[in-house]
Amino acid sequence: MTAQTKGRIAFQGELGAYSHQACREARPQMEAIPCRTFEDAIETVRKGAADLAMLPVENSTYGRVADIHHLLPESGLHIIDEAFVRVHINLLAVPGTKLDDIEEAMSHTVLLGQCRGFLRQHNLSAVTGADTAGSAKTVSEKGNPKMAALASELAGEIYGLDCLARHIEDKQNNTTRFLIMSREPNLNRRGTAGMMTTFVFRVRNIPAALYKAMGGFATNGVNMTKLESYMVDGNFIATQFYADIEGHPDDSNVRLALDELRYFTSSMSLVGVYPADPRRHGQGVA
């Protein structure tokens, strides 16, 4: 570890992945550690081989990242920050290749779905790869001038590829929200753009329990920005809810809302209390 590097941050994917880009933007002083799966990134932090994990949770074009909300409550880690990263998609090819030479574009299925217009316009066949940066690595290793990768410019730099077309995503506000996870919570910080609180809960088995549990947030003026449900242990009647709200548990209105929630739930636990990213409130991502 160099003198300029302070700690390690784990992410899922190859070097050059958008999660790697998120690490560089949000924690530029830390050494980024690639991991094969989300579970591996979490475990790397749990066992102390990294200090933080950078995990994507949702994309403005594609929606939520599959399985991640199920993993977070069971991870034993705590959310200490969020990061909004502008996802620019680029067509990368071996040096000397021209756009007209390309017949196939390889990337993760999620990214392929975010630039359908460009692929259709240039009559390019979509090839599903394991991930974005891994696709760039594959294109570099094969050296086939008929195949390109869809990935970040960072991936192009790492794997020595030329960028034939920049920012080809269908939606010009294409943004991914990441959560930064730590072994220990940090409940005393206050952000300049406000605070976020994330928690999971299960409602009691009584009529209209969810409706009643949510009422406390409305009556106390607490903005809930996310509410999602998923089955627990493959049981159709065991449902857990994942929620994000604006505010800190020490705020009087949030405290009252959470007290009311607890009355109608069989279990409730905090996953994180952290500063809101300023870009959450419409300041945009360059």
CATH number of the domain bearing residue 267: 3.30.70.260
State the DSSP string of 225-256.
Answer: EEEEEEEETTEEEEEEEEEEEES-TTSHHHHH
**Number of domains into which the chain is organized:** 3
113 is a domain residue: yes
Same domain flag for 81 and 218: no
For residue range 172-210, list pLDDT tens digits in order: 888 999 999 999 998 888 888 899 999 999 988 778 888
CATH number of the domain bearing residue 71: 3.40.190.10
19: phi > 0 → left, psi -120 to 50 → alpha, else beta; which? alpha
pLDDT of residue 235: 63
Same domain flag for 57 and 153: no
Catalytic residue among 176, 197, 198, 265: 176
Per-residue pLDDT of the chain (286 residues; tens, 9 = 90+): 444 458 999 999 999 999 999 999 999 999 999 999 999 999 999 999 999 999 999 988 778 887 787 788 889 999 999 999 999 999 999 999 999 999 999 999 889 988 999 999 999 999 999 889 999 999 999 999 999 999 999 999 999 999 999 999 998 888 999 999 999 998 888 888 899 999 999 988 778 888 988 999 999 999 999 998 877 766 666 578 999 999 999 999 999 999 999 999 989 999 999 999 998 876 444 4
- Environment class of residue 282 by beta-carbon count within 10 Å: exposed (0-12), middle (13-18) or buried (19+)? exposed
pLDDT of residue 159: 98
* Tokens representing residue 168 in the block: 């080809």
Same domain flag for 80 and 178: yes
30 is a domain residue: yes
- Percentages helix, strand, coil for the chain (3-state, rounded to 5) are 30, 35, 35
Same domain flag for 107 and 137: yes
CA distance 213 to 259: 10
pLDDT of residue 6: 81
pLDDT of residue 143: 96
Catalytic residue among 178, 199, 241, 264: 178
Same domain flag for 79 and 140: no
189 is a domain residue: no
Predicted TM-score of the model (pTM): 0.89
Say which residues have a Cβ less than 8 Å from residue 121's Cβ, sequence separation at least 6. none
For 137, the domain range is 90-165
Same domain flag for 95 and 77: no
For residue range 75-88, list pLDDT tens digits in order: 999 999 999 999 99
Same domain flag for 178 and 68: yes
Same domain flag for 223 and 258: yes
Q: Is 176 a catalytic residue?
A: yes
